[in-house]
């Protein structure tokens, strides 16, 4: 038998997860020059991962990546198997037998914990659940957020924190023509949140926003940004960072914050406040969030390595709502080694390794489950290309026996009673969502439960 990758013996690859990194891996395989058959397995009936369920509804341009993924999905060598959870409906071991190679692209589906008392008080939420809720992710559609509170604190100063802040601060008019989930728009319409504190443990020069996301916060209809100029005083190490090209993005952020600080009060109904150099030590309250206790920090260390160190000074902010936005984290999957500290599958050059660092033949990873939750959508492309380069390099060494692919797995063939969702099925769901949205001037009205999506398919068959 010939090595996998020929007409007689196509290289059969399962990709687990239909987010950007999974699609970029599929694209790289299609361009590899080998004869490939790709089966992408996704736990939801809907593909596109965080492009559908993470990227903010008021940033539609960023969802244009979907057009690229759609083209890949329509390739004859590609099949989509939605509504199948790997590690539950189909075992990793079974995939390893049915395919020459398995590429995990399962993302980072949970959040890092703050590890402070009161973290789980009612009124304290993770950005993950809030983002999933307003984006109509089936796992989060039933979450209830107490938006009767007037003051919210967002802990974290990255782009996800900026998204959460913007969605809380925007008016219904600013959101109603986006693909925000209907249940979220209704709840936000009744929101009483007026003051939003966005708090970071380091200084303004270390905040992780990108300039565009930060600037946008100063451009909202009914909410203004308040920054105390004293908060923007920088230590010599931060000023030194600006002298280096690596510090250009931070300098831009500080310039934007200075512009905010110089603005006269506009008398808008809502306010966003930035606070720096504060680490939460407890979320306070009896039965519900009433505030957050922080320790004031100072920065210590050379430029670009400055860490937050407590000064011992305590600061309290009163608030009825807290959103913790300190980073996403991958989750373990039965049958795959997991680095619980980093929240990733351990890899070397994209090849999954066991605890001793030994490569497990045929198992690979790309995207957030390989690198951790960093970078933008495009960052996943070189990551997936590098992983596929390892698959191709290993090709000749992979077991030569032809593999059955999905045909060898009842869970993918739907013969175990599960309604597996094909890409054609997804197109029917997609079109139904778009027609639902058209009525209210939205690009789409998402179905927010698996059952609703499967119902569309029932109706389509009739």
Q: Which spans of this chain sit near ligand FAD (rule: CB under 6 A)?
A: 16-22, 41-44, 49-51, 54-55, 59, 62, 85-87, 105-107, 109, 131, 160, 163, 328, 333, 367-368, 375-377, 380
Report in angstroms how near the CB of residue 35 gets to ligand FAD at its nearest: 25
Distance CA 165, CA 213 (A): 10
| Nearer CB in complex with ligand FAD: 284/388 | 388
Q: Which segments within 285-387 are labelled E, that is strand? A: 291-300, 307-318, 321-324, 328-329, 347-348, 351-353, 359-365
Report in angstroms how near the CB of residue 359 gets to ligand FAD at its nearest: 21
Report in angstroms how near the CB of residue 235 gets to ligand FAD at its nearest: 31
Q: Are 123 and 320 in contact (CB under 8 A)?
A: yes
Query: Quick one: how many helices (H) and strands (E) in the chain?
Result: 16, 18
Q: Token pair of 107, please?
A: 């993302």
Interior CA angle at 311 toward 310 and 313, to 5°?
110
Sheet with 291-300: list strands edge to edge.
Answer: 278-284, 291-300, 307-318
Q: How many CB atoms lie within 10 A of CB 401?
A: 9
| Nearer CB in complex with ligand FAD: 294/328 | 328
From residue 259, alpha-carbon distances to 156, 341, 449 in Å are 21, 39, 43
Q: Are 134 and 184 in contact (CB under 8 A)?
A: yes
| Nearer CB in complex with ligand FAD: 9/85 | 85
Instruction: Give the pairing of strands 151-155 and 321-324.
Output: parallel
List CB contacts of 281: < 8 A, sequence separation 6 or more. Answer: 116, 293, 294, 295, 314
| Nearer CB in complex with ligand FAD: 163/216 | 163
| Nearer CB in complex with ligand FAD: 11/16 | 16
List CB contacts of 192: < 8 A, sequence separation 6 or more. Answer: 147, 148, 149, 150
| Nearer CB in complex with ligand FAD: 199/383 | 383
Report in angstroms how near the CB of residue 225 gets to ligand FAD at its nearest: 20
Single out the residue of 186, 169, 82 nearest to residue 412, CA to CA: 82
> Which residue has the closest beta carbon to ligand FAD?
19
Single out the residue of 349, 329, 346 nearest to residue 337, CA to CA: 346
| Nearer CB in complex with ligand FAD: 26/278 | 26
Distance CA 208, CA 385 (A): 26
| Nearer CB in complex with ligand FAD: 168/277 | 168
| Nearer CB in complex with ligand FAD: 14/398 | 14
Report in angstroms how near the CB of residue 152 gets to ligand FAD at its nearest: 17
């Amino acid at each position: 038998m010939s090595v996998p990758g020929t007409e007689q013996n196509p290289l059969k690859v399962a990709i687990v997860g239909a987010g950007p990194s999974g699609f970029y891996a599929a694209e790289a395989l299609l361009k590899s020059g080998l004869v490939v058959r790709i089966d992408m397995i996704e736990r939801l009936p809907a593909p596109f991962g965080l492009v559908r369920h993470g990227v903010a509804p008021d940033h539609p341009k960023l969802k244009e990546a979907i057009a690229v993924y759609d083209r890949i999905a329509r390739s004859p060598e590609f099949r989509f198997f939605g509504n199948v959870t790997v590690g539950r409906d189909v075992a990793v071991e079974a995939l390893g037998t049915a395919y020459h190679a398995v590429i995990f692209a399962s993302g980072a589906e949970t959040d890092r914990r703050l590890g402070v008392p009161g973290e789980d008080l009612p009124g304290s939420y993770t950005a993950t659940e809030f983002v999933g809720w307003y984006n109509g992710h089936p796992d989060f559609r039933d979450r209830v957020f107490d938006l009767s509170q007037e003051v919210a604190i967002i802990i974290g100063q990255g782009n996800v924190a900026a998204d959460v802040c913007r969605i809380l601060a925007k008016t219904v008019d600013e959101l109603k023509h986006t693909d925000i989930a209907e249940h979220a728009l209704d709840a936000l319409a009744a929101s009483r949140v007026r003051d939003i504190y966005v708090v970071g443990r380091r200084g303004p020069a270390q905040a992780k926003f990108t300039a565009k996301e930060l600037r946008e916060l100063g451009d909202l209809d009914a909410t203004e940004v308040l920054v105390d100029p004293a908060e923007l005083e920088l230590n010599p190490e931060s000023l030194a960072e600006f002298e280096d090209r690596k510090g250009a993005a931070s300098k831009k952020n500080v310039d934007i914050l200075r512009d905010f600080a110089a603005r006269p009060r506009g008398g808008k109904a809502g306010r966003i406040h930035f606070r720096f150099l504060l680490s939460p030590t407890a979320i306070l309250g009896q039965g519900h969030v009433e505030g957050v206790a922080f320790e004031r920090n100072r920065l210590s260390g050379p430029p670009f390595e400055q860490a937050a160190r407590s000064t011992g000074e305590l600061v309290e902010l009163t608030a009825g709502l807290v959103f913790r936005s300190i980073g996403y984290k991958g989750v373990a999957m039965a049958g795959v080694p997991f680095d619980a500290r980093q929240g990733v599958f351990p890899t070397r050059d994209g090849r999954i390794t066991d605890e001793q660092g030994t490569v497990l033949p045929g198992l690979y990873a790309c995207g957030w489950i390989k690198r951790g939750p960093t970078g933008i959508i495009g960052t996943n492309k070189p990551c997936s290309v590098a992983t596929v380069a390892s698959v191709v390099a290993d090709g000749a060494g992979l077991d030569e026996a032809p593999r059955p692919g999905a045909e060898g797995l009842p869970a993918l063939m739907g013969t175990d009673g599960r309604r597996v969702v094909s890409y054609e099925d997804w197109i029917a769901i997609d079109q139904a969502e778009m027609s639902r949205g058209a009525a209210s001037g939205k690009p789409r009205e998402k179905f927010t439960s698996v059952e609703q999506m499967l119902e569309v398919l029932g109706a389509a068959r009739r």
